[in-house]
Structure 1
């Protein structure tokens, strides 16, 4: 069986690696130059996209920002999973907010901004603490602005007036005083069967995910039910097939959806060592019609992103329960270079591994690591 993935980055690479033991061939589309490539070497396969689509049994994506002409071509083949409607909802915050409202899924109060003057009304109705997001092409903290107090409004309006808001509207959200950020990664198969991974707790720095811990500590059954209900509503709405990630803000005993990601997700990388069946393998299983794999956590896990640096010691591989995953990229500020998965039987054991890991890292590039280790050490 052959799978064609749109996007040729690390997520396609990890899907390829998960598919090999299943006897499934994976190739990728470099959406920047419209070429079909090997997901590992990035070498051109000297194959047109049209021929690759014809040869493939199923098409999928590694990220939602696929150029719409390519997405339309993929959808017209009848082989795209998940479908383009779901992918576009993840790529466009206006569509995303619309489906959340339609399905009565709780999310942050917001206004859609197509001209800067509408920010005045947004402040009047939502207050003077706002986070403003580009509706498309924003990720890892890019395409976002904050209004912390009313005195900043005129300056912010001046900045945003330079943008084409008719073509790419903004979403002005009320800044939520959340306690923490959580994400649910789940998978739905061709026959509608669903498996959930445990909720993960995510720690961000400057708009980027730095650390995920799973299962997240202090998760009640009520929180689980809220997260899983939101997931089920979304996958049923789109007749979704594959892995879907839903990011939440926890506010007291309630969850508000922050974003949806119609693909394998950074906060699910811990599943590579933390479960029997990783999110990457389960995505391949789902879209090819294979039975879904076990998603239960084996113990406690942490995923630490390596961002914008390569001056760590590979001696970290000597640490028990430590696994390094590199993406083969050249260093650039804020670029995800790889990740490190850690496991332990308990949170305190996991914290001990995290503290040991810090000795092998330029700690200034991992600002969330030791604080999170201290928190986990106090749980057990």
Structure 2
């Protein structure tokens, strides 16, 4: 089976690694250079989207911010899963908010801003504090502004006005700021038949808007049920096929959707060591029509992102239950270079191993890990 992935980053790489035992051959299409590459070696295999489509039996995507003409051409092929509608909803906050409303899924109150009048209306109706997010191309904390008090409105609007003036296709979504207890995410998979399997809710910790740590452990049943109901509502509405991730805010026992990601997701990397079948294999199973795999938690597992670093102390490999995953990228500040998965048979043992890992990692390169340590045994 040949699968084409739109995008040639680390998620395509990990799909290729998961697909090999299933006899699934992955090629990656770099949307920026119009080249077809091997997802592990990045060796050039060819050029042209038409050629890439013709050689593939199934097409999928590793990210949302794909030019519309490419999405349309893939959709017309009849091979594209989860499909253009889902990918566009994940890449445009206006479409995403409309989808959530259509599905009856709770999220923060919002207004779309195209001009200063819209901005003033948002401040008047939604109050402050507010968070503003670019409709397009916003991820890992990029394209965001915060209004903490009305007196800051003129300065914040000027920044946003300059941003809107630079791109006629852009808009900004204003949201009420949510005072949440925790950030959580759910990764699930839906087959073409409508069958759904979901992994346990994962607790996330971000640093400067970028995911730092994800923790998978036994979860509150009521929260898990809420998350699964929201997942089913969204996935069924889209007739979704593949892995879908949903990020939540937990507010006093209730979940609000922050955003969706129509693809395999950073907060699901723990599944490589903490679940029977990882998210990458399950995505490929779904889009190629294979039976879905087991998504139950096998053992408590942590995922730690490696950001902007191309090496870690070799001593960490002596820690039991630790697995290191590099992405083969050139070093760049803040870039996702790899991740560490750390597992144990109990939360107490996981906490002890995590404490040892924190002692070995340079604090400047891995800030705020101590904040997550206390959550492991809660």
Tell me the TM-score normalised to structure 2 length.
0.97
Residue 371 of structure 1: how far off its partner (Å): 2.1
2:16 is equivalent to residue 23 of structure 1: no
Note the 1:271-290 alignment, pairs <5 A.
271-290=271-290
Mapping 1:72-87, distance limit 5 Å: 72-87=72-87
Structure 2 CA distance for aligned equivalents of residues 140 and 7 of structure 1: 17
- Report SS of the residue matched to 1:131: strand
| Count of residues paired in the alignment | 376
Residue 204 of structure 1 pairs with residue 206 of structure 2? yes
RMSD over aligned Cα, in angstroms?
1.2
Question: Which range moved further: 40-49 or 176-185?
Answer: 40-49
Q: Where do residues 110-149 of structure 1 align in structure 2 (5 Å cutoff)?
A: 110-149=110-149
The equivalences for 1:306-317 within 5 A come to 306-317=306-317
Among 180, 183, 195, which residue is 1:193 paired with? 195
1:316-335 to 2 correspondence within 5 Å?
316-335=316-335
1:24-103 alignment, distance < 5 Å: 24-103=24-103
Gaps of 5+ in 2: none
1:312-338 Cα deviation digits (max 9, x unpaired): 212211111000000111221111110
Per-residue CA deviation, residues 157-188 of structure 1 (Å, 9 max, x unaligned), is 11111123652110000000000110010001
* 1:182 alignment counterpart: 184
Cα gap change, 1:47 to 1:158, in 2 (>3 Å): closer
What residue is the counterpart of 1:233 in the other structure? 233
Q: Deviations over 1:329-368 (max 9, x none)?
A: 1221111110000001222211111111123211122223
- Kindly indicate whether the alpha-carbon contact (under 8 Å) linking 2:215 and 2:376 is maintained by their aligned counterparts in 1: no
Take 1:266 and 1:311, find their aligned partners in 2: how far apart are those partners? 20
Whether 1:353 and 2:353 are equivalent positions in the alignment is yes
Cα distance in 2 between the residues matched to 1:260 and 1:368: 25
Quote how far apart the aligned CAs of 1:46 are.
2.3
TM, length-normalised to structure 1: 0.96
4+ residue runs of structure 1 moved beyond 4 angstroms? Answer: none
Secondary structure, aligned partner of 1:365: coil
C-alpha contact 1:19 1:26 (8 A) present in aligned 2: yes
Q: Secondary structure at the match of 1:348?
A: helix
Partner SS for 1:349: helix
Secondary structure of the structure 1 residue equivalent to 2:116: coil
Where 2:374 maps in the other structure, the secondary structure is helix
CA deviation string 1:17-73 (max 9, x = no partner): 000001111000011101100001111102432122112110000011111111111
What is the aligned partner in structure 2 of residue 262 from structure 1? Answer: 262
**Residue number in structure 2 paired with 1:302:** 302
CA–CA distance in structure 2, aligned partners of residues 335 and 244 of structure 1: 23
Q: Answer whether contact 1:354 1:369 (CA < 8 A) is retained.
A: no
Of residues 168, 171, 176, the one that matches 2:170 is 168
Deviations 1:113-142 (A, max 9, x none): 010232222112111201100001000010
- After TM superposition, give the deviation of residue 83 of structure 1 in Å: 0.8
